[in-house]
Amino acid sequence: MHGPTDRPGAVPHRATSGVAVGGGRQAGAKLAIKRVFDLVAATLLLLVLSPLLLSTAVLVRLDSRGPVLYRSTRLGRGGEPFTVLKFRSMKVDADPAVHRQFIAEMLARETKAENRSTIFKLDDDPRVTRIGRVIRRLSIDELPQLLNVVAGQMSLVGPRPEVPYAVTYYRDWQWRRFDVLPGMTGLWQVSGRSTLTPADMLELDVSYADRWSLALDLWVLARTLPALLRPDRAR
């Protein structure tokens, strides 16, 4: 477990391996290509999906009081905090302590397959709005993160954007997930996310950070939509 840092919520520099941050000219060229691909693809998706984005914004606004977008601090590459964007799917007075406790229990226990039945007790979370349940099930709530991708804070493919309080329970090897930009989708998304524990997802995040490539990104992207359309996965 790591101690406090100079920047609240930031990951100590010694916590990451630097595999994707450094790596010489070849790694730099790969990162540049990945960035260009992210920027072009995210911009095109924003244009193509603009009718869906606009209609979702209207529905969120009509369904319950509060802002259309939900802004929350997440940890990105190198453990740098940034503001992630989502369509609001919860009531404005929702208590974040419920999710904080949930994550704490799951990571502290490192829940495995034998007790998966208790993992997703937040599925019927009363804090979620009516339209929120729909957009969460289809992952439409995460589409505003395309703006994070355009801004260079996220990638289309990568580890999940992590909540700052979760790193309190990290083991040393799990910090390697911060070697790369977080993604809108990733191995966790196409590996049955509704049956994965937070510990399982961390293993997939680290696996991606250790072996990412453009080919792997394309493989994940090709499988993301089918994964989202499966009712047992898109929760």
In a domain, 129, yes or no: yes
Q: For 54, phi and psi rounded to 5 degrees? A: -65, -45
In a domain, 98, yes or no: yes
In a domain, 1, yes or no: no
Taking CB atoms within 8 Å and a gap of at least 24, the contacts of 132-135 are: 132/60, 132/63, 132/88, 132/89, 132/90, 133/89, 135/56, 135/60, 135/87, 135/89
Structural domains in the chain (count): 1
CB 149 within 8 A of CB 61: no
pLDDT per residue, tens digit, the chain (235 aa), is 444 343 444 554 444 444 444 456 667 888 999 999 999 999 999 999 999 999 999 999 999 889 999 999 999 999 999 999 999 998 887 666 666 676 666 666 654 444 443 444 455 677 889 999 999 988 899 999 999 999 999 999 999 999 998 888 888 999 999 999 999 999 988 987 667 778 888 999 999 999 999 999 999 999 998 887 775 544 4
Cβ-proximal residues to 168 (8 Å cutoff; 6+ apart), any chain: 1, 104
Give me the numbers of helices (H) and strands (E) for the chain, helices first please: 7, 4
CB 53 within 8 A of CB 144: yes
* Containing structural domain, residue 34: 13-229
In a domain, 5, yes or no: no
AA identity, residue 1: M
